[in-house]
Structure 1
């Protein structure tokens, strides 16, 4: 791994928190992700399943974590099953995790090779009554691909039909949404790398540069700072492209007088950052661009203040909608009749601001978190209002990542990333 190791204190505590919520006499299993083929002998670069990583810190393929808090044998209460390594594998693929490294990374003492999994797991199942399976139940999840975890869960139910089945997901949704300080420190590192990349592109942006050239500049800075790359597919959208919410082609030339919307974030140690900024190609905002930009920035600032413990996510979005409605009325993009006659299910402001304002962020860009439960301290949210005017070729979105505080306004992990018009223009024209 290229990133600095996270203290195993985090993973030890995460497992304690998870096991404290398991039913008596139960086992939980978590699998690493597959390495997915592209064609011939090519594969997509490996990315670890977020749940096994959250509970162990193991960032390696062909790994299984088993938790059995009530195991008759104390050494079987936490077990890692790992791919067996040998000198041949070390030559071709590099060193793999062994018992000593597993203890350093995860704080787990019991390690077996995968070839022994079925024998040992059968023993554990004969001593337990309930099995916790790991399923992805994120509200945005929509995948057709069968994962390693899916295949494991199928095998489990076929071979141990008498066991009660429970779900790990409800426990993890709550645990993962509230961040440990070590997680917040890691996310701050990801945001700091994103800041470096943004400051780099402020110097590089000029008329006729291509969107993909700017993408390359960002990636350069990410890789140079020990990030694996983008936490999600980057959006670098100039002119009218910025009014397409999920424009990811990044293939057009940036024209004098246009704005460029950047929605990018560095990944670091599997943790995500998520930033949006909008800048002028030529280094100077027009008066009209300033009007739209400042309206979005005002909504962002006021929306951020609302993110306090006890707030309900759905109610928060209603209040942000009111802020945006007021700004759109001042801009004369809406009139009072539009608001009076609006459909409550799709308010008038949605014509120009059609996406949500905030989502959980952490190990995933759209991280785990139960949106029907009140917001809690140490959860991390994005704040990302926008205004999109296709007929004017203007799209503005501004986004920061903020940590909910027990008292007071959220702490902005992106507080040092330029956002005010004057600072952006000054940096672009130095």
Structure 2
């Protein structure tokens, strides 16, 4: 891994919190992700399943975590099963985790090789009544591929049909949505790397540059700062490309007078950052572009102040919609008749701002969190309003990542990333 070793007190605490929510006489199992094939002998670079990482810090394939807090044998209350490393693997792939390294990473003392899993698990299953399986129940999930976790669940339920089955996901949704300070520091590191990438781009952009060249500048800066790269597929949309919400081709030339919408964030240690900025290709905003930009920025600032403990997700978005409506009226994009005659299920402002304002973030860019429950301190949210005007040839979105505080306004993890019109223009014309 490129990142520095994470303090394992994070993973020890995470397991303790998870096990405190488990039923009596129950066992929970978590699997690594597969290494997915492309074709021939090519594979997609490995990405660890965020749940086993959250609970153990283990960041390699073919790993299994078992938690059994009521196990009669104390040494079997936390177990890691790992792919056994050997001289051949060390030469061809690099050494995998040893038992000693696994303990240093996770704080788990009992580590077995994967070939012993079925034998050890049989003993454990004779001692428990319920088994927790790990299903993907994220509100945005749309998964067609059968995962390693899915295959394991099928095998487990077939082999042990008499056991009760419970779900890990509802526990993890709550635990993962509230961040430990170590996690916040890791997200801050990802944001700081993103800041370096954005400042590099501000010195690079000029008329005639290609969107993919901007993407390359970010990737260069991310890699030299111990990031694997982008936390998500980046959007570098110049001109009207900015009005395509998930534009990822990044293959057009940026022309003088256009704006470029940049939605790009670094990952660090599997934790995401999520930034959007909109900048002028020529280094100066036009009068109209500046008016719209500042309107979006005012909505962002007002929305940010609402992210406090107790805020209701649905009500928050209604209030942000009212603020956006006011700004769109001021920009003459809406008139009073548009608002008076609007469909309550699709308000008038949605013509120019059609997506949500905030989402949880952390190990996943769209992180775990239960949207029907009030916001809590130490949750991390994006704030990302936008105004998209195809008829005028540009779209503007601005996005920061913030931590909800127990008292007062949220803490902006992107406070050092240039955002004001004057600052962006000054840096581009330095």
1:420 aligns with 2:407: no
**In the alignment, which residue of structure 1 is the partner of 2:106?**
106
- Give the aligned partner of residue 383 of structure 1: 383
Partner of 1:119: 119
User: C-alpha distance in 1, partners of 2:223/2:323?
Assistant: 38
Q: CA offset at residue 298 of structure 1?
A: 0.3
Name 1:174's counterpart in structure 2: 174
Q: CA deviation at 1:391?
A: 1.0
Q: How does 1:1-400 map to 2 (within 5 A)?
A: 1-400=1-400
Q: Could you list the structure 1 runs, at least 4 aligned residues long, displaced by more than 4 angstroms after superposition.
A: none
- Give 1:138 shift: 0.2
CA distance in 1, matches of 2:191, 2:366: 16
Structure 1 residue 102 displacement after superposition: 1.0
- How much has 1:57 moved relative to structure 2? 0.1
Q: Tell me, in whole angstroms, the C-alpha distance in 1 between the residues paired with 2:285 and 2:335.
A: 26
1:89-138 alpha-carbon deviations (Å, 9 max, x no partner): 10011111111011100000000000000000011001000000001100
Q: Distance in 1 between matches of 2:395 and 2:226?
A: 31
Secondary structure of 1:225's partner? coil
Shift of 1:394: 1.1
1-structure distance, mates of 2:199, 2:250: 19
Name the CA distance, whole Å, in 1 between partners of 2:86 and 2:423.
55
Aligned-residue RMSD, C-alpha: 0.4
| Structure 2 counterpart SS, 1:360 | coil
SS of the residue corresponding to residue 79 of structure 1 reads: strand
Secondary structure of 1:184's counterpart equals helix
Kindly state the Cα deviation for residue 425 of structure 1 after the two structures are TM-superposed.
0.2
Displacement of 1:149 in angstroms is 0.2
Per the normalisation by structure 1, the TM-score is: 1.00
C-alpha separation between the residues in 2 aligned to 1:319 and 1:160? 50
DSSP-derived class of the 1:112 partner: strand
Q: Deviations over 1:307-335 (max 9, x none)?
A: 00000111000000000000001111001
Paired residue total: 430
Query: Structure 2: how far apart are the matches of 1:338 and 1:152?
Result: 54
Distance (Å, rounded) in 2 between the aligned partners of 1:336 and 1:213: 43
The separation in 1 between residues aligned to 2:397 and 2:5, in whole angstroms, is: 34
For residue 12 of structure 1, report the CA deviation from its aligned partner: 0.2
Structure 2: distance between partners of 1:315 and 1:145 = 35
Deviations 1:160-188 (A, max 9, x none): 11100000000000000000000000000
Helix, strand or coil for the counterpart of 1:257?
coil
Q: Give, in whole Å, the separation in 2 of the partners of 1:388 and 1:355.
A: 11
Q: Secondary structure at the match of 2:203?
A: helix
Other structure's SS at 1:228 match: coil
| Unaligned residue ranges in structure 1 (runs of 5+) | none
SS at 1:60 equivalent = coil
Secondary structure at the aligned position of 1:230 is classed as coil
